[in-house]
Amino acid sequence: MIYKAHINEDTGKIQTVREHSENTARLCEGYAIPALKDLSYMMGLFHDLGKYQISFQKRIDGANIKVEHSICGALAAKEHYPDAIELMMGYCIAGHHAGIPDGGFMGDTEDMGTLRGRIQRETEDFDVYKEELMIPALDQQAIMQFLMKDCGKDIELLVDKFAFMTRFCFSCLTDADSLDTARFCKGTLAKPLQADLASCLKKVDARLDSFVCRTRLQKARALLQKQVFEKAGQDAEIYLMDMPTGSGKTLCSVKFALERAVGRKARIIYIIPYNSIIDQTAHVFGELFGEDAEILRHQSTFSYEDREDKDEDYRKAAKSAAENWDAPFIITTAVQFFGSIYDNRRGKLRKLHNMADSVLIFDEAHMMPLEYLQPCLRAVAFITRYLNSEAIFLTATMPDFSRAIKQYALPDSRILGLIEDRSVFSEFRKCRYQFLGQSGIEALLARAAMYPSSLFIVNKRAAARQFYQACTGKRYHLSTYMTSYDRERVLEDIRRELAQLEKDFPDMDRVPDDRRITIISTSLIEAGVDLDVYTVFRELAGLDNILQAGGRCNREGKRPEADVYIFELERETKTPVQDERGSIVKGMMERYPDISCQECIVEYYDRLYAMKKDDIQSHTLTQECKNIHSIPFRTYAEKFDLIDSRTVSVVVPRDEKSRQMVETLRYTGVGNGRALQSYVCSVYPWELDDLIQQHVVDDFGTGMYCLTNTEYYDKDTGISFEAKDHWIE
Tell me if 224 is assigned to some domain: yes
Mean of pLDDT over the chain:
91
CA distance to 672, 699, 704, per residue, from 668 (Å): 12, 12, 13
* pLDDT computed for residue 578 by the predictor: 55
Measured distance CA(30)–CA(190) in Å, rounded = 19
Order of strands, sheet of 648-651, starting from the edge strand that comes earlier in the sequence: 680-683, 648-651, 706-707, 697-698
| Mean pLDDT to the nearest integer, 23-38 | 98
The last residue of a domain, from among 386, 408, 425: 425
Based on the fold, state whether residues 180 and 251 are members of the same structural domain: no
| Mean pLDDT to the nearest integer, 137-147 | 95
Burial tier of 243 (Cβ tally within 10 Å: 0-12, 13-18, 19+): buried
Tell me if 612 is assigned to some domain: no
Measured distance CA(3)–CA(131) in Å, rounded = 12
| Mean pLDDT to the nearest integer, 453-469 | 95
Measured distance CA(642)–CA(690) in Å, rounded = 27
The pLDDT of residue 268 is above 60: yes
| Mean pLDDT to the nearest integer, 596-615 | 94
* pLDDT computed for residue 725 by the predictor: 56
The last residue of a domain, from among 525, 557, 592: 592
The pLDDT of residue 305 is above 80: no
For 365-392, write each residue's pLDDT tens digit. 999 999 999 999 999 999 999 999 999 9
The pLDDT of residue 615 is above 60: yes
Decide if 18 contacts 49 (C-beta within 8 A).
no
DSSP assignment of 38-68 equals HHHHHHHHHTTGGGGSHHHHHHHTT------
* pLDDT computed for residue 602 by the predictor: 93
| Mean pLDDT to the nearest integer, 33-58 | 97
Q: How many domains does the chain have?
A: 4
Q: Domain range spanning residue 705?
A: 648-719
> Pick the residue with more confidence: 688 or 309?
688
Tell me if 678 is assigned to some domain: yes
Nearest Cα to Cα of residue 434 among 425, 444, 424? 444
* Rg of the chain (C-alpha set): 28
Order of strands, sheet of 267-272, starting from the edge strand that comes earlier in the sequence: 296-298, 329-333, 267-272, 358-363, 390-395, 238-242, 415-417
Side chain identity at 2, as an amino acid letter?
A: I
Measured distance CA(601)–CA(548) in Å, rounded = 12
Based on the fold, state whether residues 470 and 549 are members of the same structural domain: yes
* pLDDT computed for residue 302 by the predictor: 52
Based on the fold, state whether residues 415 and 276 are members of the same structural domain: yes
* pLDDT computed for residue 576 by the predictor: 47
> Pick the residue with more confidence: 514 or 310?
514
Per-residue pLDDT band for 728 (boundaries 50, 70, 90) equals: very low
What is the DSSP secondary structure assignment for residue 698, as one 8-state letter? E
Tell me if 315 is assigned to some domain: yes
Based on the fold, state whether residues 267 and 410 are members of the same structural domain: yes
% the chain with pLDDT above 70: 95
Measured distance CA(269)–CA(261) in Å, rounded = 11
* pLDDT computed for residue 648 by the predictor: 87
The pLDDT of residue 662 is above 90: yes
Tell me if 110 is assigned to some domain: yes
Decide if 387 contacts 419 (C-beta within 8 A).
no
The CATH number of the domain holding residue 322 is 3.40.50.300
For 97-129, write each residue's pLDDT tens digit. 999 999 999 999 999 999 999 999 999 999 999
Based on the fold, state whether residues 329 and 365 are members of the same structural domain: yes
Per-residue pLDDT band for 727 (boundaries 50, 70, 90) equals: very low
* pLDDT computed for residue 224 by the predictor: 95
The pLDDT of residue 722 is above 90: no
* pLDDT computed for residue 419 by the predictor: 96
Based on the fold, state whether residues 474 and 554 are members of the same structural domain: yes
CA distance to 8, 142, 152, 239, per residue, from 145 (Å): 43, 5, 11, 28
Measured distance CA(270)–CA(362) in Å, rounded = 6
* pLDDT computed for residue 163 by the predictor: 98
The CATH number of the domain holding residue 168 is 1.10.3210
Residues 302/306/307/308 CA torsion (nearest 10 deg): -170
Decide if 658 contacts 457 (C-beta within 8 A).
no
Based on the fold, state whether residues 353 and 373 are members of the same structural domain: yes
The last residue of a domain, from among 373, 404, 425: 425
% the chain with pLDDT above 90: 77
Based on the fold, state whether residues 151 and 226 are members of the same structural domain: no
Side chain identity at 575, as an amino acid letter?
A: T
What is the DSSP secondary structure assignment for residue 553, as one 8-state letter? B
Based on the fold, state whether residues 468 and 360 are members of the same structural domain: no
For 211-230, write each residue's pLDDT tens digit. 988 888 889 999 999 999 99
Based on the fold, state whether residues 89 and 210 are members of the same structural domain: no
